[in-house]
Amino acid sequence: MNRRDPRSTSRLLAQAILVAGLSSCTPPVEEISALPEPSIDSSLIVGDYLFVSRDQEARVLGPCDHRMMPVLEVATPLARRIASGQEFSLANDTEALALLDSMLHGSDADVRRFYFWIVTKSLARSDGYYSEGVGYWGTQHLFHNPAEFLTAWSECISEGERKKWAWYLAAEEHIGSENQPTDEVLAEYRQRLESATSMFPEAVAIGRERLLVMVDSIYRSSWGTKSTQRQ
């Protein structure tokens, strides 16, 4: 079993306390712009969804599009700024950590998927306590809601964003496994995730294997040399 650095645990507990004190007030509803007309150009079809060009950005039209999620209307101000592509800051720990808490503890799958997407978009500004929280809460989400995490990870974000998530997950695993041999750490990680997803459909298993390959590669390239032998 992996052991977390007590100092890291203390910081994460402090983050959780901050999140617990958030106000439950519902922010004002903002008008959501209409969806653009989809292009049928075959080069824009990815998986089951159509992508259209808008301001040189790729946006998904389907269940993964944040504009199709009713939660957007009652999301936190920070989440709505991120969703709309406005400038945003993660400097306020309480507001930033609330995104992670909603990703894990949202009231239903739609809320959790929306905040998974929001957290993914926030990774470009991630640092400090928030960065550490991404790895911790992301790992909790993966193992508590594996089908939700793997489906959103596989279908709702870009390849570059998938690699970012794999890095945070690998880094979190390294925190609690620093003195274990690399092969042992990764074998245990695979076993835990396979066990957590054993009863889910094949599509989830495919996403799981893609994620495991990325985590394995990142872990070995970043920390494998240092942790191959026990100290």
Q: For the segment 26-56, what is each residue's pLDDT rounded down to a tens digit?
A: 444 444 444 444 343 433 333 333 333 333 3
Tell the burial category of 172 from Cβ atoms under 10 Å away from its Cβ (0-12, 13-18, 19+): buried
Report pLDDT for 4: 54
Question: Which of 14-18, 21-25, 26-30: highest mean pLDDT?
Answer: 14-18
Poorest-confidence range of 13-27, 94-108, 120-134, 160-174? 13-27
pLDDT of residue 179: 85
30 against 120, higher pLDDT: 120
pTM of the predicted structure, to 2 decimals: 0.73
3-state SS assignment for residue 52:
strand
- Cβ neighbours for 79, distance < 8 A, ≥ 6 positions apart: 99, 102, 114, 115, 118
Integer-rounded Cα Rg, in Å, for the chain is: 18
Residue pLDDT, tens place only, 88-97: 999 999 999 9
For residues 89 and 139, give the distance between their C-alpha atoms in angstroms, rounded to a whole number: 23
The answer, yes or no, to whether residue 87 has pLDDT greater than 90, is: yes
What does the pLDDT read at residue 15? 55
Give pLDDT, residue 128: 83
The closest of 180, 52, 68 to 114, measured between CA atoms, is 68
